[in-house]
């Protein structure tokens, strides 16, 4: 694809991501909420807070940018991938990149195996998966296959010449004269026959591709910039170029993976990790803090003592020790971070909010009307204790992104091969004199992400400032 087509497709993807983020997801969220029985109506106080938030332009546009980027990252397999979105040969049609995306969305169902384009089903030899970029080059320029066949035939002629010269030299050393009409050994003839068969297959494929028997649609950008080609038997393997990358200047890492692709996939993984840890930790911390603040007494004292002991555990060193023994996956590492640290901070804040709110008149009125404690805690007190939760959440996301990057940089984070800013930084730090870009690009990506999230946090804190609005108690 040309640069102009790349730009048009990229702009279309960005526009679709913005519309999905700002229109599609809110609409879906409201509809799902109404299906499960919620009224999904914004209160006047919340409406004023939202208006105040949108008026803070630095925070609002940072929110739009970071949310759009994350929503788009959920579909990365469809436009940053080495596998084809669509590939056809004769009556065989597969959608390997779509299957990759479905595997990410539904990790407990295997879509990839059935979507593999097996070589012998797509005009090639072998049971391995087709090299999609090579296939795409052949579809777009079938003459490439003819040139490949010409190269094989030229190699046969050259090898015959060199082999007969070798036989002549050997005969000369023995004092004999070599007869050039002597038939070649059987093993050499079989080798040439196999090469001629491969050349014939290439010429046959050239005719079929030229007549439109095959077609393919590749994603916008490759995941890796070099890989072994899976071609017909007898053809020597070689390294493939990256095709048409969006920003080829970023280059590749030491594993041959495209740096831009690594940055994008690492953003999705880091942001999803931080959101998962933050929301899970807050769910636990809010529950514990609500129980402490609402009931007080011995429950409050005992839980506080437990939290004090538990929070004294150095969580970073603990994770490093566990990571050196057993390399945790995404969900295991998130669970460890939640258990060791993520729930503690918000617990004290919610405890104080519930201590203050339970003495209000509206709580006493609810008790007189016969409301049970769980209903009072969740439906009456919790909405009035929500301000610190909303305010602190963005800053917790920043902290957990930093924690994941730090663990990956130290080598105690996610398993090798997982896209990670920390692992790119580690590669760049070990070779900073020769590859400074492996340090520069991850730092820029991390800095922009954290800056946007902090700007959102600052705007939320200002918009939800209780001093701006009076609340009915």
Say if residue 146 is in the same domain as residue 290. Answer: no
Burial bucket for residue 370 (CB in 10 Å: 0-12, 13-18, 19+): exposed
Say if residue 30 is in the same domain as residue 105. Answer: no
Three-class SS of residue 257? strand
In a domain, 326, yes or no: yes
Say if residue 118 is in the same domain as residue 186. Answer: yes
pLDDT at position 469 is 56
Say if residue 281 is in the same domain as residue 412. Answer: yes
CATH of the domain at 301: 1.10.3720.10
DSSP per-residue letters across 275-332: HHHHHHHHHHHHHHHHHHHHH-HHHHHHHHHHHHHHHTS-HHHHHHHHHHHS---HHH
In a domain, 354, yes or no: yes
Q: Looking at per-residue confidence, does 49 or 64 come out higher?
A: 64
Three-class SS of residue 89? strand
pLDDT tens track for 207-256: 988 888 889 998 888 887 644 333 333 333 323 333 444 445 677 777 77
pLDDT at position 376 is 87
Say if residue 268 is in the same domain as residue 393. Answer: yes
Distances (CA, A) of 349 to 12, 299, 334, 343, 453: 44, 17, 23, 11, 21
**Gap between the Cα atoms of 262 and 467, Å rounded:** 44
Q: Is the pLDDT of residue 473 over 50?
A: no
In a domain, 275, yes or no: yes
401 Ramachandran zone, left/alpha/beta (phi>0; psi -120 to 50): alpha
In a domain, 66, yes or no: no
Q: Is the dihedral of CA 122, 110, 334, 316 positive or negative?
A: negative
In a domain, 228, yes or no: no
pLDDT tens track for 373-393: 888 888 888 888 888 888 888
Say if residue 152 is in the same domain as residue 288. Answer: no
Q: Average of pLDDT values for 48-69?
A: 90
Q: Which of 63, 66, 65 is nearest to 456 (CA)?
A: 63
Q: Which long-range contacts (CB under 8 A, 24 or more apart) does 241-244 make?
A: 243/133, 243/136, 243/218, 244/1, 244/6
Provide the domain count of the chain.
3
Would you place residue 276 in the very low, low, confident or very high pLDDT band (cuts 50, 70, 90)? very high
Of the chain, the percentage scoring pLDDT greater than 70 comes to 92
Q: Which of 220, 216, 217, 215 is nearest to 77 (CA)?
A: 220
pLDDT tens track for 64-73: 999 999 999 9
Say if residue 152 is in the same domain as residue 8. Answer: no
Q: Which residues contact 118 (CB under 8 A, 6 or more apart)?
A: 127, 128, 129, 130
Say if residue 197 is in the same domain as residue 295. Answer: no
Prediction pTM value: 0.83
**Gap between the Cα atoms of 470 and 473, Å rounded:** 9
Q: What is the dihedral of CA 384, 386, 388, 392, to 10 degrees?
A: -170
Say if residue 156 is in the same domain as residue 23. Answer: no
Say if residue 192 is in the same domain as residue 281. Answer: no
Say if residue 329 is in the same domain as residue 454. Answer: yes
Of the chain, the percentage scoring pLDDT greater than 90 comes to 20
First to last CA, the chain: 62
The region of weakest confidence among 231-245, 324-338, 439-453 is 231-245
Say if residue 413 is in the same domain as residue 268. Answer: yes
Q: Whole domain around residue 7: which residue ranges?
A: 1-41
pLDDT at position 238 is 29
Give φ, ψ of 88 to 5 degrees.
-135, 140
In a domain, 277, yes or no: yes
In a domain, 249, yes or no: no
Q: Which of 168, 192, 218 is the last residue of a domain?
A: 218
In a domain, 77, yes or no: no
pLDDT at position 249 is 61
Would you place residue 267 in the very low, low, confident or very high pLDDT band (cuts 50, 70, 90)? very high
């Amino acid at each position: 694809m040309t640069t102009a087509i790349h730009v048009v497709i990229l702009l279309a993807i960005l526009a679709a991501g913005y519309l999905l983020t700002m229109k599609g997801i809110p609409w879906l969220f409201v509809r799902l909420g109404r299906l499960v029985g919620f009224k999904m109506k914004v209160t006047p106080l919340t409406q004023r807070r939202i208006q105040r938030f949108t008026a803070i332009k630095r925070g609002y546009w940072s929110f739009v940018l970071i949310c759009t980027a994350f929503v788009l990252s959920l579909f990365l397999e469809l436009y940053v991938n080495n596998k084809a979105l669509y590939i056809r040969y004769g009556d065989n049609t597969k959608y390997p990149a779509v299957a990759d995306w479905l595997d990410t969305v539904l990790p407990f169902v295997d879509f990839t195996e059935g979507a593999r384009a097996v070589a012998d089903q797509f005009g090639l030899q072998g049971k391995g998966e087709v090299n999609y970029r090579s296939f795409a080059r052949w579809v777009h320029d079938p003459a490439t296959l003819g040139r490949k066949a010409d190269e094989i035939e030229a190699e046969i002629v050259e090898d015959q010449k060199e082999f007969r010269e070798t036989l002549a030299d050997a005969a000369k050393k023995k004092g004999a004269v070599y007869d050039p009409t002597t038939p070649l050994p059987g093993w050499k003839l079989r080798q040439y026959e196999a090469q001629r068969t491969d050349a014939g297959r290439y010429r046959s494929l050239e005719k079929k591709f030229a007549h439109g028997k095959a077609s393919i649609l590749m994603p916008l950008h490759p995941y890796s910039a070099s890989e072994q080609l899976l071609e017909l038997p007898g053809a020597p393997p070689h390294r493939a170029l990256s095709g048409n990358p969006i920003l080829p200047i970023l280059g590749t890492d030491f594993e041959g993976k495209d740096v831009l692709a690594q940055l994008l996939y690492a953003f999705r993984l880091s942001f999803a990790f931080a959101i998962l840890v933050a929301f899970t930790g807050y769910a636990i911390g809010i529950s514990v803090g609500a129980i402490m603040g609402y009931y007080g007494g011995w429950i409050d004292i005992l839980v506080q003592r437990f939290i004090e002991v538990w929070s004294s555990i150095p969580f970073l060193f603990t994770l490093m020790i566990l990571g050196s023994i057993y390399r945790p996956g995404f969900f295991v590492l998130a669970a460890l971070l939640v258990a060791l640290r993520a729930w503690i901070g918000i617990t004290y804040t919610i405890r104080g909010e519930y201590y203050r709110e339970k003495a209000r008149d509206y709580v006493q009125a609810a008790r007189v009307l016969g409301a049970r404690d769980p209903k009072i805690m969740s439906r009456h007190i919790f909405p009035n204790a929500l301000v610190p939760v909303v305010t602190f959440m963005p800053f917790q996301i920043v902290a957990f992104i930093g924690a994941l990057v730090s663990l990956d940089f130290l080598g105690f984070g996610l398993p090798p091969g997982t896209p990670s800013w920390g692992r790119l930084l580690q590669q760049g730090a070990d070779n900073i004199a020769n590859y400074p870009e492996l340090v520069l690009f991850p730092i820029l990506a991390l800095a922009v992400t954290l800056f946007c999230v902090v700007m959102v946090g600052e705007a939320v804190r200002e918009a939800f400032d209780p001093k701006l609005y009076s609340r009915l108690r």
